[in-house]
Amino acid sequence: MSDTFKSIRNANDSQEAVRRLSATLNEITGYKQIELVKQKVQDQAQAFEYTRDQVQIAKKRYELSIATRSNTQRGINELLQRKHLWTGDDVTQFTELYRLEHEHAKEEDLARSNYERMEKQMDREYMDLARCIMERYHDEQLWSDKIRSVSTYGTWALMGLNVLLFIAVQTIFEPRKRKRLTDQFETLLVEKVDEQEEKFSQVSEALARTDQVLMEQQQTIVDLVTNLSLQSAPVVEPVAAVAVDTVGDIPNFVPEDELSLSSETLAPSQAPPTSDVPSYTLSQNSLIVYSLESALAGSLVTALAFFLWK
């Protein structure tokens, strides 16, 4: 029950708020005068309806009084037609009818005057109603013209405001927005470029380390192959020999005429003792092929790293 009462009270409060808001708006716009005129027209219409009903009642009373007087006059005429046959009762009846006819004539005159007065009142009420309707029409027309003029000025004001806003947007806000977006885009682009450069530097460092490791492995293999060839080969082949520069990372090829090796240098007395380690012979062509294969492998690793980075 309490919830129902609360809902009803809230509904009443809402209706009251709407009514007050409507009254305030009518007061501001001048429609309150129109409301008063409309109420006046309604009141005048009700008064006209009441007066018309009273006219109908007065008319019926007048018609009834006419009928009653006519009946009384008919009775008097009948008695007068047989006046030579009157009795005492007829004389008494004639006297009573004559008295009633006089009273009925007075009532008929009163009803006629009342009927005429009510008709005049109805005519006045009708004229007042027509005047109120004309007044309402005139006030509504003035209010409509005022609202139309206000609406026209309001429309022009809104158009001017829209033009000013358009100009302000195109000359002030839109350039600022474009500049802000451009700055944000440049910031994001710089951040992205820095991020890509950082990734590229990391990949470059990884590739450099990989190349260094490959070069170290290649140098180790070349040193091992050179040592094995020097230990196992009795005679140096007539092709260019390989000498390893211990200072640099890349082996240097020395021609045969610059290499001071002879058969006495590799005499059997100075040859290293034989062991269980197998002997390997590596020519200059084999070394070149191995170097090219190592370079090709390094290139493949570099290309794979670039592909994965992208």
pLDDT tens sequence across 157-185: 999 999 999 999 888 888 888 888 898 88
Taken in order 43, 49, 54, 55, is the CA torsion positive or negative?
positive
pLDDT bin (cut points 50, 70, 90) of residue 53 is: very high
Q: Give the range among 28-37, 44-53, 58-67 with minimum mean pLDDT.
A: 28-37
What percent of the chain clears pLDDT 90, i.e. is strictly above it?
Answer: 21
Adjacent-strand bridge partners of 105? none
- What does the pLDDT read at residue 159? 93
Residue 283: predicted pLDDT: 57
**Looking at the predicted structure, is the pLDDT value of residue 267 above 60?**
no
pLDDT the model gives residue 2 = 54
* CA dihedral over 40, 45, 51, 54, signed as positive or negative: negative
User: Each residue of 99-117: pLDDT tens digit?
Assistant: 888 888 888 899 999 999 9
Domain range summary for the chain, segments of one domain joined by +: 7-157
Per-residue pLDDT, averaged over 61-83, amounts to 87
pLDDT exceeds 70 at position 276: no
CA–CA separation, 297 and 304 (whole Å): 11
Q: What is the mean pLDDT of the chain?
A: 76
For 273, list phi and psi in degrees, rounded to 5: -65, 145
Average pLDDT of 289-301?
68
Phi then psi dihedrals of residue 252, to 5 deg:
-105, 130
Look at residue 173 in the predicted model and tell me its pLDDT.
85
- In 3D space, the residue among 239, 223, 240 whose CA is nearest the CA of residue 231 turns out to be 223
Higher model confidence: residue 218 or residue 183? Answer: 183
On the question of pLDDT at 126 being above 50, the answer is yes
Per-residue pLDDT, 51: 92
pLDDT at 207 over 90: no
The model's pLDDT over 2-39, given as tens digits with 9 standing for 90+, comes to: 555 455 555 677 788 888 888 787 788 778 888 888 89
Arithmetic mean of pLDDT, 259-266: 38
